[in-house]
Amino acid sequence: MSPAVLAWLDYSESDQRRAREIVAMFSQRESRDELGLGRIRDALSDTLFPGTSFLLTRARYLLFVPWLFREGVRRGHGGQKLSAWVDWHERQLIGALRVGGDLEGLIGRIVGPAVRILPSTIYWNTLQRFGILRREGTEGQVAGLRQVAHPQDEATEFLEQSDAVWAPSIPSPPDDFFDLACCDFSLTHDEATWLAERIVAAVPDSLLQFLVSQGKHHSDSAYPWDDPEAVGTDGPVRDALDEARRFSVAMHGAALLYNLLLAERAEELDLSTHEGRRDRYRNRLDKWQKDFQAIDAGAWDLNGLWALVATQGRPAAPPTRAFVAEWVALARESGGQVADDGKARELIRNRERVQKRGQARLINERLMRQWGGASGSGRLNFRWPVVRRILNEIVDGRENGSAGA
């Protein structure tokens, strides 16, 4: 049998971005979508934090990419030559950032210039959603557009009405930026202020817009509903946050039960590497029971969840809706005591079989022996760690950054 491959074919840039995220998730066992809840997770994430992706790392990449594209145009490049020029300089930027010393979130930190996916690819949809990149299309398509060779020539009071490919008001890069000798991720005051204003204008009526507007530093909370600033929301934004919290908590129990079933199966196969794992998942389900009771699931109308998900243009499939509804109903009836609930166990088994067919671990001994001990057992956080970092970098830049580039 030939090895499986992922081909990009003729998909849109957003489709390609989602494919890249799926590939990345396979390397993060806590994040795997074992029970087929990804469409709901993504719809809630896009509602709370539109334009973001869990692949984002640092806020200043939102400036690095347009700086490179605009400089390439200024030097007379276009089309494939522009794409090649930007590609080469993105790879050189990795070394400059290494010299700068702040390696956290550095794309290419391990493999250096040989990295396969560059910042422009990862950030492309975000740049478009935030209005920093003002044209639709892939990187190659945008590189082929007519672009103003001297962006400063557009600096008039009609900045935002111009037909520029990139937002003309983007702050200028540091004078030595294109030397690519040394660079860092610290935003200047002007850069951070501009990014904040851009995000606020681009994603109204979202939790992201609310938090950027607040301009406060965010604690190391694991979930957005635990953040002191986020809980100050109201109206539709608060409703969306509450739906995300209920869904995250409720379906965490399903993920834990799935892993408990896997741990039990591992014991049946005498896989000594997973000794004691069954008891650990039982303990986690005991703790989950209290979390589930705290969300007042009895008053949760799932119709509100389905309506919210549908607004993102990706309504949940009927089988997935039925699975979620049945799981929530069983958890309600048992008061969250699902570890030994026969109906709950069978529901999880059936869901895995429907999702994976012959690749379901609970029926495929070969795959069961490859189990790493945790499959999608983490609670959904809807990209909060990524968003929190970017929010804090913007706040730090506005409070501590230098006045100019």
Question: What pLDDT was estimated at residue 6?
Answer: 40
Residue 12 per-residue DSSP state:
-
- What tokens appear for 237 in the block? 């934004």
Residue 117 per-residue DSSP state:
S
Question: What pLDDT was estimated at residue 15?
Answer: 52
Taken in order 31, 33, 37, 38, the sign of the CA dihedral is: positive
Question: What pLDDT was estimated at residue 16?
Answer: 52
User: How many whole angstroms separate alpha carbon 33 and alpha carbon 377?
Assistant: 9
Question: What pLDDT was estimated at residue 157?
Answer: 41
Q: Tell me: pLDDT of 182 over 70.
A: yes
User: How many whole angstroms separate alpha carbon 27 and alpha carbon 108?
Assistant: 16
Q: Could you read off the pLDDT of 32-69 as tens digits, one per residue? A: 789 999 999 999 999 999 999 999 999 999 999 999 99
Q: Tell me: pLDDT of 193 over 60.
A: yes
Between residues 199 and 163, the one the model is more confident about: 199
Apex 171 CA angle, 117 and 230, nearest 5: 75
Between residues 3 and 41, the one the model is more confident about: 41
Question: What pLDDT was estimated at residue 49?
Answer: 98
Identify which of 13-17, 25-29, 126-130 has the greatest average pLDDT.
126-130
Question: What pLDDT was estimated at residue 7?
Answer: 40
Smallest CA-to-CA distance from 20 within 94, 116, 84, 91 is with 116
* 380-393 burial code (b ≥16 CB/10 A, e <16): bbbbbebbbbbbbb
Question: What pLDDT was estimated at residue 32?
Answer: 75
3-class secondary-structure state, position 21: helix
Q: Tell me: pLDDT of 398 over 60.
A: yes
Question: What pLDDT was estimated at residue 270?
Answer: 93
pLDDT tier for residue 143 given thresholds of 50, 70 and 90 = confident
* 99-136 burial code (b ≥16 CB/10 A, e <16): eeeeeebbbbeeeeeebeebbbbbbbbbbbbbbbbbee
pTM score of the predicted model: 0.89
Question: What pLDDT was estimated at residue 331?
Answer: 97
User: How many whole angstroms separate alpha carbon 124 and alpha carbon 168?
Assistant: 17
Min mean pLDDT across 87-96, 150-159, 309-318, 370-379 is at 150-159
The identity of residue 379, as a single letter, is R
Q: Tell me: pLDDT of 154 over 50.
A: no
Q: Tell me: pLDDT of 26 over 60.
A: no
Tell me how many helices (H) and strands (E) the chain has. Answer: 15, 0
Burial of 233 (0-12, 13-18, 19+ CB in 10 A): buried
Min mean pLDDT across 139-153, 311-325, 366-380 is at 139-153
Question: What pLDDT was estimated at residue 23?
Answer: 47
- What tokens appear for 138 in the block? 């892939």
Q: Tell me: pLDDT of 387 over 50.
A: yes
Question: What pLDDT was estimated at residue 314?
Answer: 85
Smallest CA-to-CA distance from 344 within 354, 333, 359 is with 333
